[in-house]
Amino acid sequence: MRLKSLYMPANCLQNEKFPAHILWNQKDQYEIKITIPKELEVVEIFNVPNDGVQTYKENSLKITKFEFNGYFEIVFRSKTLESPRKQLHVKFILRDISTSKEKEYNKTIDLFRPAIKLGDIPSIIEVKIDDNTQSIEVKNKIPVNNIGDGTALVVVNSLQDSDFELTMPEGLKDFMKKVMEDLSEELKNLKKEFPENKSVIEQFLDLFKKPITLDKKRKEEIQLIFSELESKFIESESFFLKFGAAFSYSYLKNIQLITEVSSFMDYLNSIGTGRIILINSLDTIKSKKESGILNLIIQTADIGYNDYPSLQVPPIKIKCNQNCRIPIHCLFDWKGNPIKKLRRGKSAD
């Protein structure tokens, strides 16, 4: 039995599509049987007429006809599995129609996903701000680990019954406001030049007017807009280049307004190899009192924007030596080694 190729990827993010294909000599005539693990579903089959696919037993397909002999492709999608990593086996059996001989081929794929886990939650977090050294000392951080594989995208929000308000730092607010003013002006000219893209440009700008969240509706909205933008970029290289130039110009023109760079660098240094990206890392918690109860919820997604259950952090008492703003990332230990002191930008004033 002579095959040119039998391919299936070695690994894939859970809940994402992945292909498998078989290539053979067009002079040979084959029938293909596929045994599919229950954790997988078939999304699409290529080069096979409707009457060429049969289900001959549970989780098994028989392919008997091809539109063009010599090629077969099937696309699978995995479910989100209970285990962050699981190895699955797909069995292909090829039967040579002329000789009735069969040969079995087994392909293995590792399906992975991130998995956020909270450690022992402290009952009290103590925060000490030193105005002289411009530093924040945080005792008893919230331990968060990614015990799975792949990168986790995380958004941390405060609940309504919290004594602390989650806000964007004033410096970042000024920066974002000026960037959006300049970007809106630049894209206004682009809408005139590319009127067929007016709708998607306006939808893109609207994204920045809403708070950051990873709920299902918001993720679907983001994916839809970026998918349409990508299509427009493919259709017109000129639109792609001018859109990018507008964004770069608006950002670089106002870069001097950012006062939270040092805080952001502290965050980047703190995550290490934890593979956790805190999307709203520059947000701060603010209270008018020196102490209060903090209630947080953590939303998680992967790089494919797949849904995962939110984690609610048990109530924690925050004690600070003065009224303050604390960068949200400072409250977490992302890799089990808390940073004792963090430099303070103007956002912590």
Of 112, 136, 157, the residue at which a domain comes to its end is 112
Of 190, 225, 256, the residue at which a domain comes to its end is 256
Residue 3: what are its φ and ψ, rounded to 5°?
Answer: -110, 145
CA 286 vs CA 169, 199, 318, 327: distances in Å: 10, 37, 11, 9
Tell whether 268 and 161 lie within a shared domain.
Answer: yes
Spacing of C-alpha 318 from chain mean position: 30
Tell whether 279 and 323 lie within a shared domain.
Answer: yes
Q: How many domains is the chain partitioned into structurally?
A: 3
Tell whether 86 and 44 lie within a shared domain.
Answer: yes
Helix pair 237-253, 216-235: axis angle to 10 deg = 120
pLDDT by residue for the chain (349 residues), tens only, comes to 789 999 999 999 999 999 999 999 999 999 999 999 999 999 999 999 999 999 888 889 999 999 999 999 999 999 889 899 999 999 999 999 999 999 999 999 999 999 999 999 999 999 888 777 667 788 899 999 898 888 888 889 888 888 888 887 766 677 778 888 889 999 998 999 999 999 999 988 888 777 667 777 777 888 888 889 989 999 999 999 999 899 888 877 876 666 555 555 555 555 555 588 888 877 888 876 778 888 999 999 888 888 788 899 999 999 888 777 788 888 888 764 433 334 444 333 3
Tell whether 66 and 136 lie within a shared domain.
Answer: no
Q: Tell me the three-class secondary structure of 147-197, residue by residue.
A: CCCCCEEEEEEECCCCCCEEECCHHHHHHHHHHHHHHHHHHHHHHHHCHHH
Residue range 175-230, pLDDT digits in tens: 778 888 889 999 998 999 999 999 999 988 888 777 667 777 777 888 888 889 98
CA dist 116 and 82 (Å) reads: 13
CA 159 vs CA 162, 324, 329: distances in Å: 6, 19, 17
CATH number, position 23: 2.60.40.2910
Q: Are 286 and 325 in contact (CB under 8 A)?
A: yes
Of 222, 238, 256, the residue at which a domain comes to its end is 256
Tell whether 185 and 323 lie within a shared domain.
Answer: no
Tell whether 87 and 194 lie within a shared domain.
Answer: no
CA dist 196 and 236 (Å) reads: 11
CA dist 301 and 219 (Å) reads: 9
Tell whether 225 and 263 lie within a shared domain.
Answer: no
Burial level of 28, CB count in 10 A (0-12/13-18/19+)?
Answer: middle
Tell whether 24 and 94 lie within a shared domain.
Answer: yes
Number of Cβ within a 10 Å radius of residue 179: 20
**Any idea which residue has 């696919």 for tokens?**
53
**Any idea which residue has 């309504």 for tokens?**
160
Tell whether 307 and 158 lie within a shared domain.
Answer: yes
Tell whether 130 and 197 lie within a shared domain.
Answer: no
CA dist 236 and 199 (Å) reads: 16
Tell whether 65 and 26 lie within a shared domain.
Answer: yes
Tell whether 56 and 137 lie within a shared domain.
Answer: no
Residue 52: what are its φ and ψ, rounded to 5°?
Answer: -95, 0
Domain boundaries, position 104: 3-112
pLDDT for the residue 84 = 92
Q: In which region does residue 47 sit, left (phi positive, over 0), alpha (psi from -120 to 50) or beta (all else)? A: left
Q: For residue 283, give the 3-state DSSP assignment.
A: coil
